[in-house]
Chains A and B, each alone.
Chain A
Amino acid sequence: MGKKTIVPIGPYHPLLEEPEFFKLYCDGEKVVDMEWETGYNHRGIEKICESKTFEQVFYVVERICGICSTSHPFAYANAVESIPGVEIPVRAKLIRSIVGELERVHSHLLWVGLAGHFLGYNTVFMWAWKYREPILDMFEIITGNRNSYAMFTIGGVRRDISEENADKLLKVLMDAKKKISLLTGAVMDDPVIHARLKGVAVLTAKDIHDFGAIGPTARASGVDIDIRRDDPYAAYEMVDWKVITAKEGDIFAKAEVRLMEMFESISIIKQCLELLKKENKGDIKVKVKEIPPGIGIGRAEAPRGEVFHFVKSDGSNSPVRHKIRAPSYNCITTFRRSCIGGTISDAAIATAAVDPCYCCTERMTQVYDIKTGKKMMNAAELIKLSQKKTEEIRAKGDKND
Chain B
Amino acid sequence: MGIEIFYFLIFPGLLFCTVVGGLISWVDRKITARVQFRKGPPFMQPLYDVIKLLAKETVVPLRGSATTFILTPLFALFGATISAVFIMLPVLGIETGFTGDIIVIVYLLNIPSLTYVIGALASGNPLAAVGASREMKLMLSYELPFLLVLISVIIQSGMLISLSEIIAFQTSNGAFIGSLSGFIGFITVLMCFQAKLGLVPFDMAEGEGEICDGIIIEYSGSILAIFKLTKYIMFLILPALLTGLFFAGLSFSGIHILWSILKIMLIILLISLIRNTNPRVRIEQAMKFFWVWMNLFAIISIILAILGI
Taking Cβ atoms with an 8 Å cutoff, the residues of A that contact B are: 5-8, 13-15, 26, 28-29, 116-127, 130, 190, 192-193, 195-196, 343-346, 348
Contact = CB atoms under 8 A, between A and B. Distances in A.
A343 B281 CA distance: 12
B15 interface: no
Interface string B35-67: 111100000000000000000000000000000
B90 interface: no
Contact of B209 (A14, A190, A195): A14
A193 B204 contact: no
Contacts of B37: 126-127, 130
Nearest to B288: A195
B287 to A, nearest CB: 11
Nearest to B206: A120
A13 to B, nearest CB: 6
Given A7-B126, A120-B203, A122-B32, 13 more contacts: A5-B130, A6-B126, A8-B127, A15-B210, A26-B130, A117-B209, A118-B209, A120-B200, A120-B208, A122-B200, A125-B36, A196-B279, A196-B285
B129 A15 contact: no
A117 B208 CA distance: 9
B114 interface: no
A11 to B, nearest CB: 13
B130 A119 contact: no
B201 A28 contact: no
A351 to B, nearest CB: 10
B36 A127 contact: yes
B29 to A, nearest CB: 12
Interface in B245-293: 276-285
22 contacts: A5-B129, A7-B130, A14-B209, A14-B212, A26-B130, A28-B133, A29-B130, A29-B283, A117-B209, A119-B209, A119-B280, A121-B280, A127-B37, A192-B278, A192-B279, A192-B281, A195-B285, A196-B281, A343-B284, A344-B211, A348-B207, A348-B210
A290 B90 CA distance: 88
Contacts, number: 88
A126 B133 contact: no
Nearest to A114: B209
Nearest to A186: B277
A126 B283 contact: no
A188 to B, nearest CB: 13
Contacts of B203: 120
Contacts of A6: 126
B282 A346 contact: yes
Contacts of B36: 122-123, 125-127
A327 to B, nearest CB: 23
Given A344-B211, A348-B210, A5 B201 contact: no
Contacts of B212: 13-14
Contacts of B133: 28-29
Interface residues of B toward A: which range?
A: 20 to 34
Contacts of B129: 5
A344 B129 CA distance: 13
Given A130-B37, A196-B282, A123 B277 contact: yes
Does more than half of chain A's interface fall in helix, strand or loop, or is it mixed?
helix
B86 to A, nearest CB: 32
A345 B207 contact: yes
B212 to A, nearest CB: 6
User: What 10 pairs between A and B have smallest CB-CB spacing?
Assistant: A120-B280, A126-B36, A119-B279, A121-B279, A348-B210, A118-B209, A345-B282, A120-B200, A123-B276, A15-B209
A120 B283 CA distance: 13
Contacts of A190: 278-279
A116 B35 CA distance: 15
Nearest to B277: A123
A380 to B, nearest CB: 33
- Residue of A13, A15, A119, A346 ringed by the most chain B CB atoms within 10 A: A119
A123 B277 CA distance: 7
Contacts of A344: 130, 210-211
Interface in B185-210: 200-201, 203-204, 207-210
B25 to A, nearest CB: 16
Nearest to B289: A195
Contacts of B208: 14, 120
B295 to A, nearest CB: 19
A344 B211 CA distance: 8
Given A7-B211, A344-B211, A126 B278 contact: no
A401 to B, nearest CB: 11
A122 B203 CA distance: 13
A246 B286 CA distance: 29
Nearest to B213: A14
B126 A126 contact: no
Nearest to A196: B279
Interface in B4-20: none
Nearest to A343: B282
Given A192-B279, A196-B282, A345-B204, A120 B209 contact: yes
Nearest to A5: B126
B283 to A, nearest CB: 7
Contacts of B284: 29, 343
A6 B211 CA distance: 12
Nearest to A29: B283
A186 B253 CA distance: 44
A6 B38 CA distance: 37
